[in-house]
Amino acid sequence: MSVITLEIPCRSEGHGHILDLTPETARAVAESGLTAGTVTLFVPGSTASLTTIEFEPGAVADFRRLFDELAHPDREYRHHLTWGDDNGHAHVRAALLGPSLTVPFVGGKLTLGTWQQIILVDFDTRARDRRIVAQLMGE
């Protein structure tokens, strides 16, 4: 069993910006030399999350609308009172979705469904340089 840890850098626009990380993740698996195992992705920070979705405009719009309904940016958040900032909704949204995702791979390829992509969702209120920690475990 081998463990390989690497980082995938990315730049987001904030405000619910969604980035497709599937190509970078697939490349990391292919270049690892591992043929079977899992890749766990983790985004450090408390205002971004990782999940999977069919990365097409309709599903992305539905996803964004859902989070506006659950944690609208214009609500009053006590977090704003604590820190004097404006991203309370980003923290709540990221906590609901979570900071990590694990995907198995077999034959050196991700086992994602045909229309399933790995995405980073940046809920913060500004553009950010993000890094995704990828840890591959397998043989």
Chain-centre distance for alpha carbon 6: 15
Question: C-alpha distances in angstroms, 111 versus 95, 105, 119?
Answer: 26, 5, 15
Name the least confident of 3-17, 25-39, 49-63, 70-84. Answer: 70-84
Beta-carbon count within 10 A of 82 CB: 9
Sequence-ordered alpha helix ranges (H) in 16-130 = 22-32, 57-70, 78-83, 88-97
Q: Which of 138, 139, 128, 109 is nearest to 44 (CA)?
A: 128
Tens of pLDDT along 61-104?
A: 999 999 999 999 999 999 888 888 899 999 999 999 999 999 99
Fold of 2-138: Jelly Rolls (2.60.120)
> Would you kindly state where each structural domain of the chain is located, as residue ranges?
2-138
Integer Cα distance of 41 and 60 in angstroms: 20
Compute the distance between CA of residue 45 and CA of residue 129 in angstroms, rounded to an integer: 11
* Interval 101-137: pLDDT, tens: 999 999 999 999 999 999 999 999 999 999 999 999 9
CA distance 10 to 66: 24
Strands 100-106 and 17-20: what pairing? unpaired
Distance CA 84, CA 126 (A): 15
